[in-house]
Chains A and B, each alone.
Chain A
Amino acid sequence: MYKYDNFDQTIVNERVEQFRGQTQRFLSGELSEEEYRPLRLMNGLYIQRHAPMLRVAIPYGLLSSKQMRMLAQIAREYDKNYAHFSTRQNLQYNWPDLERVPDILADLASVEMHAVQTSGNCIRNTTSDQFAGIAPDEIEDPRPYCEIIRQWSTFHPEFSYLPRKFKIAVSGATHDRAAVRVHDIGLYLVKNGQGETGFEVIVGGGLGRTPYIGPTIRSFLEKKDLLSYLEAILRVYNRYGRRDNIYKARIKILVNELGKEEFTKQVEEEWQHIKNSVLILDQKEIDRVKAYFTEPDYDQNAGDDTGFESALNENSAFTSWASRNLADHKVAGYKAVVVSLKAPGIAPGDATDAQMDFIADIADEYSHGEIVVTHDQNLVLPHVKQADLFTLWNKLSEQGLATPNIGLLTDMICCPGLDFCSLANAGSIPIAKQINEKFDDLDYLHDIGDIKIKMSGCMNACGHHHVGHIGILGVNKKGEEYYQLTLGGSAENDAALGDRLGPAFAKAEVANVIESLIQVYINNRDEDERFLDTYRRIGMEPFKEKVYENN
């Protein structure tokens, strides 16, 4: 994985000192709350319902075991012994003291981490595929480009006061696991007719109040032009994005108001001016960064193992876990293990300091010291030998980290909601709990199969409800928590926004409604058709009828 050199370390250290000074000036009254606010946000610091919340950047989701241990230590020292992994592959602390945040940042800097631009109206942490570098369907590893974008966008002087936040995602595989089409800029690594690799550029996707699936504005961009093209897009946005209305300030609104053709024309015109400048990305730099993402020393004989097969035959609990929590690896005899952070009774994405330490240890033992945070708020151990899987599973089980539910109904995405977030209309964690209690039969869950439930506590859509196969949105009806459901969303290659089911439901009904929806699916599915595919085939009516039959 990427290692800081002197330049990277210096800039992060200087940031810590800068923020320490800013915080001191705020506490002494020199800086007003209004002046301090954007400064703290650009360091990931929110003032939440109960306490500040600090969001730490995990670039493209990749962590070393050493970094994971530091995250655990911070949870112990400055917080209440746990932390929350977010849908943008970052990590959040819910209870730090404002005064001590500069110290946390200094601790992070000691392991090459930071909280730079994890909030605020600037370019945020670039996200990617959780199986980057190991996926069998990969065209090229996207992480070197994420890192190049990270460096280009860090403290970019022109783009630090954008109309609104700005999120970039890069995917290098044929299967989109990075929700590329719902980002401000989405990049797919693709091959052109000549067999060269470059980028397909998508602009103006996004969720929130006005969700859009982003259109492609360039089907092939050469790698050397990556930064100049990004700069052209950002410049057009910075100049013309709306600043009069916070709900209309994202680039998706600009793209939509101008129309894709006009927007593209403006970007291409701007690009003509700068494409032959110092922004040209040297192949040398691409190669330098790529050299950090080389493969670990794989065991060439890992595929000879037969123990995995026999364990599958002997232990049904292991089989059940293996059927859900493993992903294919490009090297024979290896698997990627998904560690579920969705155990019943736990807020989705939460991990205790002890669990984090434990995961760091097993990453060292079984996965070359690497860990990846997923968009679904789970963790991946990317390089595990199949011969080690049974032992690993036993160890994970002891820590409550082997819930065999990846991709299943209880592997929900859920924002912090009313329990933590000051913008929330309604709780989302209690709904997750309700659903977990209703669907507590593992065999039934496995029978239902792949389904994505995504839940947000308000229109801001941090839980990506629009692109859930079932989306749940918290709304406020005369002071009561209500929930609006959508069906048929997807964030993958077939990206789609969900359709509204009908009137919202009271809090106590949500899990029952989900159960009815699942009933309709089970009664109508063709063999092993997924929920989403059944919905697409039979449409909304049967679901609607069943759910509202008593009204």
Chain B
Amino acid sequence: MRIIKDRQIVYDDWTLVREVVTDDEVSSGKVIVPLAYWQQHRDVLLKTNEKHAIWIDGDNETEALLDDLSNFDLIALDFPTFKDGRSYSHARLLRQRYGFEKELRAIGDILRDQLFYLMRCGFNSFELRQDKDAEDALKAFNDFTVRYQAAADDAVPVYKLR
């Protein structure tokens, strides 16, 4: 599947499993499982799979992941609608407070006009909504060359540059 990662369009071999119906479908390969499933089947998954990823939505506290953080190769944060801004905070916490350095992916209602902010909050990969043009979306990363405030990217408060 085509996604945007580190500002490029790439083919990606993770499979997002929104809901696990049978254990088999997640017992091998690179799968992104729901947090609740991970919590129940953690020990099995750690044995059967080499790579690990979960997805959470705004209702889940990032703090609930802390003990497991080092196990994950990828964490996906879901935006049921692009207007639900909770995961902007969650991404920053994962990156800046809890030191998660692997892939942080935005999934769900992901559109071009939010990419700049998502990137600034620490997301480095984006599963764009199906009907949207990825080439077009890439332009969003260049929307602004000035950033007033620090976030999870490399920006410092702009006044320090003055």
Contact = CB atoms under 8 A, between A and B. Distances in A.
Contact of A282 (B148, B150, B159, B161): B159
Given A5-B162, A22-B113, A161 B145 contact: no
Contact of A158 (B89, B147, B161): B89
A157 B117 contact: yes
A307 to B, nearest CB: 45
A5 B148 CA distance: 12
Nearest to B157: A278
A288 B159 CA distance: 9
Interface in B104-134: 111, 113-114, 116-118, 120-121
B146 interface: yes
A478 interface: no
Interface stretch (B14-22, B35-43, B80-88): B80-88
A156 interface: yes
B162 A288 contact: yes
A158 B86 contact: no
Contact of A157 (B58, B113, B121): B121
B148 A243 contact: no
B52 interface: no
Contacts of B92: 158
Contact of B86 (A18, A121, A152, A239): A239
Contacts of B58: 243
A158 B121 contact: yes
Interface residues of B, number: 35
Contacts of A10: 145-146
A375 to B, nearest CB: 26
Nearest to A154: B148
Contacts, number: 96
Contacts of B151: 156-158
A525 B146 CA distance: 58
Contacts of A159: 85, 88
Interface band, chain A: 35 or more
A278 B85 contact: no
A288 B161 CA distance: 13
Given A7-B158, A161-B83, A35 B111 contact: yes
B144 interface: yes
A11 B144 contact: yes
Given A14-B144, A157-B117, A160-B117, A239 B159 contact: no
Interface string B65-108: 00000000000000000111110111010000100000000000
A38 interface: yes
B143 interface: yes
A161 B148 contact: no
Contacts of B147: 155
A14 to B, nearest CB: 5
The winner among B116, B147, B156, B157 for most chain A CB atoms within 10 A is B157
Contacts of B118: 157
Nearest to A151: B148
A279 interface: yes
A285 interface: yes
A59 B84 CA distance: 27
Given A158-B151, A285-B159, A7 B146 contact: yes
B148 A239 contact: no
Interface in A254-274: 273
Interface string A14-36: 11001000100000000100010
A143 to B, nearest CB: 16
Given A38-B83, A238-B88, A152 B145 contact: no
B122 to A, nearest CB: 9
A530 interface: no
Report which residue of B85, B111, B113, B144 has the largest number of chain A beta carbons within 10 angstroms of its beta carbon. Answer: B85
A161 B84 CA distance: 6
A277 B149 CA distance: 12
A282 B156 CA distance: 13
Contacts of B85: 121, 158-163, 238
B117 to A, nearest CB: 4
A156 B144 CA distance: 12
A223 interface: no
Interface in A211-250: 227, 235, 238-239, 243
Contacts of B97: 273
A39 interface: yes
A33 to B, nearest CB: 14
Given A151-B158, A161-B83, A161-B84, A11 B150 contact: no
Nearest to B79: A161
B159 A155 contact: no
B156 to A, nearest CB: 6
Contact of B83 (A31, A121, A238): A121
B146 A11 contact: yes
18 contacts: A5-B162, A10-B145, A10-B146, A11-B146, A14-B145, A152-B149, A155-B147, A157-B88, A157-B116, A158-B92, A158-B121, A161-B85, A163-B85, A243-B84, A243-B86, A273-B97, A285-B162, A288-B159
Report, nearest first, the 9 A-B pairs whose CB atoms are least far apart: A161-B85, A157-B120, A157-B117, A285-B159, A11-B146, A158-B88, A278-B150, A151-B148, A10-B146
Given A161-B82, A282-B160, 13 more contacts: A7-B162, A10-B145, A14-B145, A35-B82, A151-B158, A152-B148, A152-B149, A158-B117, A158-B121, A159-B85, A161-B88, A285-B159, A288-B162
